[in-house]
Amino acid sequence: MKMSLKLIMGNQAMAMGAIHAGVQVVSGYPGTPSSEVLETISSHAGESLYVEWSVNEKVALEVAAGASYAGKRSLVTMKQVGLNVASDPLMCLAYVGIKGGMVVLVADDPGPISSQTEQDTRHFGIYSKLPVFDPSSPEEAYEMMGDAFAYSEKYGTPVIMRPTTRVCHAYAPIKMKSELYKNTLEGFKKDPKWVIFPKLSYEAHLNIEARNPVIGDDFSGYRFNFIEGSGRKGVVSAGVSYAYTKEALSLLGAECRLLKIGTPHPFPEKLALEFLQSVDEVLVLEELDPVIEKELVYLCGIHHIHLDIKGKRTGNVKQAGENSCESIAQVLSLYLDIPYEKPEVLANMPALPVRPPVLCAGCPHRASFYAVKQAMKGRKAVFAGDIGCYTLGNAMPLDMVDTCLCMGAGVTITQGIHHAEPDTVNFAFIGDSTFFHSGITGIINSVYNETDMILVVLDNSTTAMTGHQPHPGTGKTMMGNITDKISIPAILEAVGVSDIQIVDPFNLDEAAKAVERAASKKGTKSIIFKSPCIAIIKPAPLLKVDEDKCTGCRKCIRELGCPAIIKSGTKVQIDPSLCYGCTICAQICPFDAIGGDIND
Amino acid sequence: MINCLLAGVGGQGTVLASKLLAGCALNKGLPAHTAETIGMAQRGGCVVSHVRIGENMHSPLIPLRQADLIIGFEPGEAVRSLAYLKKDGTVLVSAHAISPTTASLSNSVYEAAEMIDYLKETGINVIVIDTDSIVKECGTSKILNMALLGAAVSTGILGIGLSDLESIIDEKIPEKFRELNHKAVKLGAQALAGKGA
């Protein structure tokens, strides 16, 4: 019999789970590994389903909250560091509560694979006192999304859905519901409860403290919290680590008593107590912080249960990075005293090609960085970077990112450096999407406080790093509408930036002149290097190396680090499958050896 | 449970190939799961796709030493992934190397032959596919993934037949590319038959 299951990504599964749960307003800000959730939902957008990429995560969460106040089911998506930006509305909303079910989807990134931090959003759940759902597979994530909306409405609180990269990006055959949830809630009703005041917050705090143990008991019977297996040795696991644990047990041919946690907060204490009373010792296998481990130690303490609880605290499980089948099999092998032959490192392996992330051939950021670097040769200058593809400008040979902290921080780190070292020329590089996300307030700060800095906006007309999402400067929305493009130079002018130059970075001479001009002036100056990401344009005529003229000096390779320029004997060659015809190699070649099609 | 690992470089079509294999399995009524490990690189970085066909799988990623077949889209990437191979597993590998984008900056020279020799010296089953001739005959390197899939299913290791692969191409690939993809699959299968496997 043929199964009618569709292979979909964990993020798509959560998107479909939300749609089938009747979600009507969805907002978010792109961030790996969360972006595909909103993108999937947007392909179902229509009259009764509104979807937007918001300007940043704080804005997104507030939009979703407003929709929920008005009785709609709403979803907001972001990556873990995005919740730092959205933490202000999150903390307050936890007190105010919601009407229509509201899910705050925050994807964590153990490793980290593509993030600044390894922060654990389960802590945010505990801190904000909100329920947290932690799926262990795409299949479970699909089901949990519907449950999350139901619990949210049942308790009148936003809830957090916290998948991790391996669940977000794994593909599984998902059995979908055929019926859509029908929302019967009425719209926005004026009520003092929507206005946060100290007195209301005090009462809400008491209510939350009374409510959470009730939710914890409710969760003790929740279908994705369960005990399985037998034996006196206990193992507790959650998220993708539960999947690794199951796989490792089968590799080892072992069995144990296993408690699986799908809702780390409020902790399902009754279920956990039942488990703790059935075993002689406990090993906790989880990623990021020892959240479940601490809950168990706490439970043992208050219930006077004498159990050895092993995990991160005891050094059995490593404290940072991802778990894997192998790491968990090793820990389990020691714990259960079952031999495990650790896969050996292969002997005599030849040196493998190294493939670090680099800016694409033809990327306009390469030209922008190169122009600034050339113009500032011999000057004392600091180059503050930011979050996006252009963080890759830190790689050799460009080496043009001296600092990178968090979204929008380049603009303001620069100001601090200026106040500490006024004789340095201070640059802040920021992409167009990051500019709208959290760059503008920093620029206002610079103008207001009369800081000398050069703001370099790398405007490639898209959110490239996370997969080319539109933003306010692109003139497109996730509802498919064409809107007015919000002009970056108009914003800069409005906030009082004194000198605004718009330059094509691929014209290296002009670009360098613009940098010199900006560096000669006081105050907050800006250069907008405007050129689209190669992923959204067609290549220009490709370039060729004239072998007769090429002396093999390799200046192009040494200074640009373009992936399309490769060594060929004593000379260089351009790989036509990678070249985008950006021409910067031709512009810097001292022997005029690069040209080809453009000169034909 | 059959585990198949596809190892290549961004832009070679490993991810699509893994989806097609999983689609073949689903069409046969077998559960299939896939997952990728991709770094930050948009192009030219290492891409590994994990395809798991059958019941009783839990981890989205294949554990080390559990892959029945590694499809190496590129010799260096096949070697890099070798720790995933079962003791009696098979490596099917394209002979064509992709130089890393940073090779020009360093002085490291990367030779495909060295990688292939290493694979052969380890004593595992190695099938080298001359993908250059297939690419030449098809006129584009974009069909590399299809040629390798044609060869891979012909090994019989995956429990998927050529006809399964042909129907999933008809199902998933836009019509204008179908004929070329079928051609590449056929040439890949022929290349394998030529090895006497």
pLDDT at B39: 63
Any chain A CB within 8 A of the CB of B141? yes
Percent helix / strand / coil, chain A, rounded to 5: 40, 20, 45
Report d(CA A236, CA A274) in Å as an integer. 13
Angle at A127 between CA A122 and CA A128, to 5 degrees: 100
CA-nearest residue to A558 within chain B is: B105
Which pTM was predicted?
0.95
The verdict on a CB contact (< 8 Å) between A7 and B22 is: yes
pLDDT at A600: 44
B140: chain A residues, CB-CB within 8 Å: none
The verdict on a CB contact (< 8 Å) between B39 and A357 is: yes
- For B61-87, write each residue's pLDDT tens digit: 999 999 999 999 999 999 999 999 999
pLDDT at A180: 86
Q: Which domains does chain A have, with CATH numbers?
A: 6-219 (3.40.50.970), 226-336 (3.40.50.920), 364-536 (3.40.50.970), 555-599 (3.30.70)
Mean pLDDT, rounded, for B53-58: 94
pLDDT at B108: 62
Any chain A CB within 8 A of the CB of B63? yes
Domain count across chain B: 1
pLDDT at A346: 78
Average pLDDT in chain A: 95
Nearest to B9 among A343, A355, A356 (CB): A355
CA-nearest residue to A6 within chain B is: B26
Nearest to A350 among B29, B58, B114 (CB): B114
Mean pLDDT, rounded, for A217-232: 98
A536-542's contacts with Cβ under 8 Å and 24+ in sequence apart are A536/A461, A536/A462, A536/A468, A539/A362, A539/A579, A539/A580, A539/A581, A540/A580, A540/A581, A540/A582, A540/A583, A540/A598, A541/A581, A541/A596, A541/A597, A541/A598, A542/A574, A542/A576, A542/A579, A542/A580, A542/A581, A542/A596, A542/A597
Report d(CA A380, CA A364) in Å as an integer. 24
pLDDT at A291: 98
Q: What is the ipTM metric for this complex?
A: 0.95
Any chain A CB within 8 A of the CB of B99? yes
Task: Tell me the residue range of the domain where B182 lies.
Answer: 2-194
The verdict on a CB contact (< 8 Å) between B57 and A247 is: yes
A569-575's contacts with Cβ under 8 Å and 24+ in sequence apart are A571/A545, A571/A547, A572/A545, A572/B104, A573/A545, A574/A542, A574/A543, A574/A544, A574/A545, A575/A361
- Asked whether the predicted pLDDT for residue A222 surpasses 90, the reply is yes
pLDDT at A355: 86
**The two structure tokens encoding residue A68:** 């929920």
CA-nearest residue to B74 within chain A is: A353
Is A225 or A356 the better-scoring residue by pLDDT? A225
pLDDT at B106: 66
Any chain A CB within 8 A of the CB of B110? yes
At A79, the pLDDT band (50, 70, 90 cuts) reads: very high
DSSP state of A437: I
Domain harbouring B149, CATH code: 3.40.920.10
B63: chain A residues, CB-CB within 8 Å: 247-248, 251, 324-326, 329
A357: chain B residues, CB-CB within 8 Å: 39-42, 45
Burial class (CB in 10 A: 0-12, 13-18, 19+), A448: exposed
Nearest to B27 among A2, A166, A578 (CB): A2
CA-nearest residue to A570 within chain B is: B104
At A343, the pLDDT band (50, 70, 90 cuts) reads: confident
Nearest to A352 among B29, B60, B79 (CB): B79
| Sequence ranges of the binding site of A for [4Fe-4S] cluster | 550, 553, 556, 562, 579, 582, 585, 589
Mean pLDDT, rounded, for A220-224: 98
CA-nearest residue to B35 within chain A is: A170
pLDDT at A335: 98
The verdict on a CB contact (< 8 Å) between B101 and A346 is: no
Mean pLDDT, rounded, for A54-80: 98
- For A480-490, write each residue's pLDDT tens digit: 899 999 999 99
**The two structure tokens encoding residue A496:** 């009082």
Report d(CA B73, CA A326) in Å as an integer. 25
Mean pLDDT, rounded, for B21-40: 90
- Asked whether the predicted pLDDT for residue B172 surpasses 80, the reply is yes
